[in-house]
């Protein structure tokens, strides 16, 4: 009954919790008072501000929206009207013939430099030569990916090739 009386007086749930705690020596929180009111089926009177907000939705100012859109459109960069084909990239190559191994065929010491996969459905294969210690690539591919300016000065790297049985 004390909860009902407090709700009828228009007290907030925080105030109700404090009043109940003083009156009965309990330790209710605001959320405990809200839950108790809901379980008892007590209707909670709406605050005047909330009732006004529900009855009168805020109308958007159409003039202000048009001005904001116009400002945003004016500040946006113009979109290019024509598309130019990008120049074909000239890829750097090394003087090494890859073994074109599938990923599942690579062993622990094989170079993992990828080849292919550019076209739709084209398989991706890997170099497969003996890799350099501390790297995932053979010496030629390590130099290609790590120090391109040194590759031009040194020339192609000489990597020992392993003989592999034909499938």
Give the residue with greater pLDDT, 79 vs 32. 32
Among residues of the chain, what percentage have pLDDT more than 90? 15
pTM: 0.35
| pLDDT exceeds 50 at position 151 | no
* The three-state (H, E, C) secondary structure of the chain, written as one string: CHHHHHHHCCCCHHHHHHHHHHHHCCCCCHHHHHHHHHHCCCCCCCCHHHHHHHHCCCCCCHHHHHHHHHHHHHHCCCCCCCCCCCCCCCCCCCCCCCCCECHHHCCCCECCCEEECCCCCCCEEECCCECCCCCCCCHHHHHHHHCHHHHHHHCCCCCCCCCCCCC
| pLDDT exceeds 60 at position 24 | yes
Q: Which of 14-18, 36-40, 50-54 has the highest mean pLDDT?
A: 14-18
């Amino acid at each position: 009954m004390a909860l009902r009386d407090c709700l009828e007086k228009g007290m907030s749930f925080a105030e109700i919790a404090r009043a109940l705690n003083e009156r009965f020596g309990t330790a209710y929180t605001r959320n405990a008072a809200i839950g108790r009111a809901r379980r008892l089926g007590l209707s909670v009177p709406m605050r005047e501000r909330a009732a006004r907000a529900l009855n009168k939705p805020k109308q958007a100012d159409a003039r202000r929206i048009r001005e904001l859109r116009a400002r945003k459109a004016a500040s946006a960069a113009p979109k290019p009207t024509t598309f130019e084909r990008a120049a074909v990239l000239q890829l750097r190559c090394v003087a090494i013939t890859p073994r074109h191994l599938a990923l599942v065929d690579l062993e622990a010491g094989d170079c993992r430099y990828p080849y292919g996969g550019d076209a739709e459905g084209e398989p991706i294969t890997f170099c497969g030569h003996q890799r350099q210690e501390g790297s995932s690539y053979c010496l030629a591919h390590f130099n290609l990916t790590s120090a391109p300016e040194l590759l031009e000065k040194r020339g192609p790297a000489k990597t020992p090739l392993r003989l592999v049985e034909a499938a």
